[in-house]
Chain A
Amino acid sequence: RKEVEQDPGPFNVPEGATVAFNCTYSNSASQSFFWYRQDCRKEPKLLMSVYSSGNEDGRFTAQLNRASQYISLLIRDSKLSDSATYLCVVFFSGSARQLTFGSGTQLTVLP
């Protein structure tokens, strides 16, 4: 079983749609959680951190459920520029002090 699992998609949605991505992680001791965005043939870039209380950044809302080991990302009013791969990422500040990435979910927003 992978440490971080995501639905690979692809998700093809019309402009203006709301789309949600889900992610589960296996290490219950994981401490920090992030969503990264990766454009085609580019490096991953931090989109937002994910907090237990849930957090919002404009059209983006992230949720964390530690009991279920589940993370989500909601994008409202999708824009063409939101087309990218969204990577779910967990961080464990233990002996293996590293970010662990999911395989990513591909989103295409259609005009």
Chain B
Amino acid sequence: QVQLLQSGSEMKKPGASVKVSCKALGYSFTGYYIHWVRQVPGQGLEWMGIINPGGQATVVAPKLQDRVSLTKDVSTSTVYMELTNLASEDTAVYYCARGQWGDSWGQGTLVTVSS
């Protein structure tokens, strides 16, 4: 069945970078866009960006454009989200979700930023 398996929790210091992976299983990797979404504990969902595993297109939310990089590895059916210059406000659960409509989600990756 369709699964998105994300990498494990991360603890980072302010100013560092984090790279979260999302491995696609059970479907054609290049056939569906992947969204990245984050959720600060106790708050709502925030859309971060979208990548087309079957092409070159990526779109990142304007407020994150200078700090987020979305990449892919077709050979391993994996997409990556790298967030640089981390601050405490970036402490959140990060999710990947499949397709335009987000019909399947990863389990989430907690990223904690603390000195």
- A, B: real partners: no
Residue positions of A touching B, CB distance < 8 A: none
